[in-house]
Amino acid sequence: MHPDTPDLPPPPSSHAGLANLLASLAAISGGPSLPATPLPGLAAALAGCRSVILLVVDGLGTAQLERHLAHSSLARQRFANLESVFPSTTASAVGTLLTGLSPISHGLTGWHLWAEEATPGAAELLAILPLTRRGGPPPTQAERQTWAKRILAAPDLPVPLDLSTRLAARVTHIAPQSIIDSPFNRAVSQGARRYGYSQLEAMFACLRQALETPTPDRLHYIYAYWPDYDSLAHQHGPDSPAARAALQAFETHLNTFLAAGLAGAALLITADHGFITAPPERLIHLDDLPELKRLLRRPLSGERRAAYAHIQPGRVEEFAQRARECLGHALWVCPSQALLAAGWFGQGPLHPRLASRIGDLTLIPKADWTLKDSLPGERDFHLLGMHGGVSPDERQIPLCLFR
């Protein structure tokens, strides 16, 4: 903890997080160990399974489970409480779920990522999951494929990001048809069989099909991802009728799926992060603070709930002091290297470009504050539901187990 941020919460757990969950799955597959330690008791709970499904419900934090599905089969089958990664956002958490590595190693530090290696001689500020530019012209498909190769499959990474190459298991990925064969997903699932689906019911049909595929003499690991609750929570709020209805629909289809039996498999259900409601009046526009914005040497990256600031040379202390004076009530101003040393980005081999991606300072909004800047031509929009920060509602996630 940095002396200027004494009330900052502790970093994510090194024993009960997503990397620990993946380490458990690697252990039962018989493959090489991953950097994190396995979750206590999970390997024993999965003993004898021929197949293990890991189903990720995007955005279903512990708070959302307890508020909206308190009497559900999910709530009854909760095996453990986990913590998301930092920042508590899809790009970083799914990065861990798809690689088995913490952000310190996979280097996916938020939705917007400063990628020095994206284009020779011209670094890019990218939305890493869709692989699009922030504030620039739409990329060609060839550009997106090149970025995926350079950022996600680079030869200088400490370990391969493709988990399929490191698990002693047959691997299947199930995701919406719109993203299953995206350059990002192809780069991090090269050794996996992939199924795309269009509707919630079709996702469970894909799970059934994958379960019925024989995999003699080795574990079948099935990773599935469902994004609908997250999308509705962003648009309408995590406690909105639309978001709650999506969770109820998920529970209904889940129970139908379970009623047909798991055929020697185990089903694990977890999330990448939780949510907060972010009121529009608590959004800080850095554009309204020109004395701060002019000290940046590039636009903010990361998240609205965890933003990385790259400061003009020799002006870091000036920016930090000014930011604490005018925004200290609403956010923590943290030296990024201090967060790294304190374990906020997890444990494991250091990604060679992590330092450049997290910048000089990390700005972490408190309570329900959010932070943004803007680029010329960039569309201004507000998301009522947000995540990425350090509140319990964002970082605490359930792990449910069905046998």
Q: Are 213 and 174 in contact (CB under 8 A)?
A: no
Q: Are 57 and 272 in contact (CB under 8 A)?
A: no
Q: Same domain for 132 and 201?
A: yes
Neighbours of 136 (CB within 10 A): 13
What is the distance between the terminal CA atoms of the chain, rounded to a whole angstrom? 41
**Is there a cis peptide before residue 87, judged by omega within 30 degrees of 0?**
yes
For residue 17, the 8-state DSSP code is B
Q: Same domain for 243 and 297?
A: no
Please report, rounded to a whole number, the percentage of residues in the chain having pLDDT higher than 70: 99
- Please tell me the distance from the alpha carbon of residue 370 to that of residue 384, in angstroms, as a whole number: 11
- Please tell me the distance from the alpha carbon of residue 304 to that of residue 308, in angstroms, as a whole number: 10
- Please tell me the distance from the alpha carbon of residue 91 to that of residue 103, in angstroms, as a whole number: 10
- Residue 182 corresponds to which tokens in the numbers above? 């995206």
Sign of CA dihedral 296, 298, 303, 306: negative
Residue 2 lies in a domain: no
pLDDT given for residue 191 in this prediction: 84
pLDDT given for residue 157 in this prediction: 78
Q: Same domain for 235 and 326?
A: no
**What residue numbers bound the domain in which 358 lies?**
280-385
Residue 261 lies in a domain: yes
Q: How confident is the model at residue 2 (pLDDT cuts 50, 70, 90)?
A: low
Query: Cα–chain-centroid distance for residue 239?
Result: 21
Q: Are strands 219-226 and 78-83 parallel, antiparallel or unpaired?
A: unpaired
Q: Same domain for 251 and 294?
A: no
pLDDT tens digits, residue range 314-357?
A: 999 999 999 999 999 999 999 999 999 999 999 999 999 999 99
Q: Same domain for 255 and 111?
A: yes
**Closest listed residue to residue 378, CA positions, set 161, 102, 44, 112:** 112
Q: Same domain for 183 and 253?
A: yes
Contacts of 78 (CB under 8 A, 6+ apart): 65, 398, 399, 400
pLDDT given for residue 3 in this prediction: 54
Residues 145, 148, 152: CA angle, nearest 5 degrees: 160
Residue 8 lies in a domain: no
**Reduced to 3 states, what is the DSSP secondary structure of residue 84?**
coil
pLDDT given for residue 164 in this prediction: 79
**Closest listed residue to residue 324, CA positions, set 283, 355, 366, 358:** 366
Q: How confident is the model at residue 5 (pLDDT cuts 50, 70, 90)?
A: confident
Q: What is the pTM of this model?
A: 0.96
For residues 1-19, one letter each, b for 16 or more C-beta atoms within 10 angstroms of the residue's C-beta and e for the rest, the string is eeeebeebeebbbeebbbb
Q: Same domain for 359 and 269?
A: no
- Please tell me the distance from the alpha carbon of residue 99 to that of residue 105, in angstroms, as a whole number: 9
- Please tell me the distance from the alpha carbon of residue 224 to that of residue 180, in angstroms, as a whole number: 10
pLDDT given for residue 214 in this prediction: 78
Give the number of domains in the chain.
2
Q: Return the CATH number at 30.
A: 3.40.720.10
Q: How confident is the model at residue 237 (pLDDT cuts 50, 70, 90)?
A: very high
Q: Same domain for 312 and 255?
A: no
pLDDT tens digits, residue range 46-56?
A: 998 999 999 99
- Please tell me the distance from the alpha carbon of residue 182 to that of residue 130, in angstroms, as a whole number: 8
pLDDT tens digits, residue range 171-198?
A: 999 999 999 999 999 999 888 999 999 9
Residue 126 lies in a domain: yes
Residue 7 lies in a domain: no
**Reduced to 3 states, what is the DSSP secondary structure of residue 133?**
strand
Element (DSSP H or E) covering residue 308: strand 306-309
Residue 11 lies in a domain: no
Q: Same domain for 235 and 125?
A: yes
Query: What mean pLDDT value characterizes the chain?
Result: 94
- Please tell me the distance from the alpha carbon of residue 66 to that of residue 51, in angstroms, as a whole number: 28
- Please tell me the distance from the alpha carbon of residue 220 to that of residue 53, in angstroms, as a whole number: 8
pLDDT tens digits, residue range 246-296?
A: 999 999 999 999 999 998 899 999 999 999 999 999 999 999 999 999 999
pLDDT tens digits, residue range 353-362?
A: 999 999 999 9
Q: Same domain for 271 and 285?
A: no
Q: Return the CATH number at 294.
A: 3.30.1360.180
pLDDT given for residue 339 in this prediction: 98
**Reduced to 3 states, what is the DSSP secondary structure of residue 253?**
helix
Neighbours of 105 (CB within 10 A): 26
pLDDT given for residue 8 in this prediction: 96
- Residue 67 corresponds to which tokens in the numbers above? 């508020």
Q: Same domain for 367 and 285?
A: yes
Residue 4 lies in a domain: no
Phi and psi of 268, rounded to 5°? -105, 130
Q: Where are the beta strands (DSSP E) in 31-83?
A: 51-57, 78-83
Residue 367 lies in a domain: yes
Q: Same domain for 171 and 239?
A: yes
Q: Are strands 193-197 and 219-226 parallel, antiparallel or unpaired?
A: unpaired
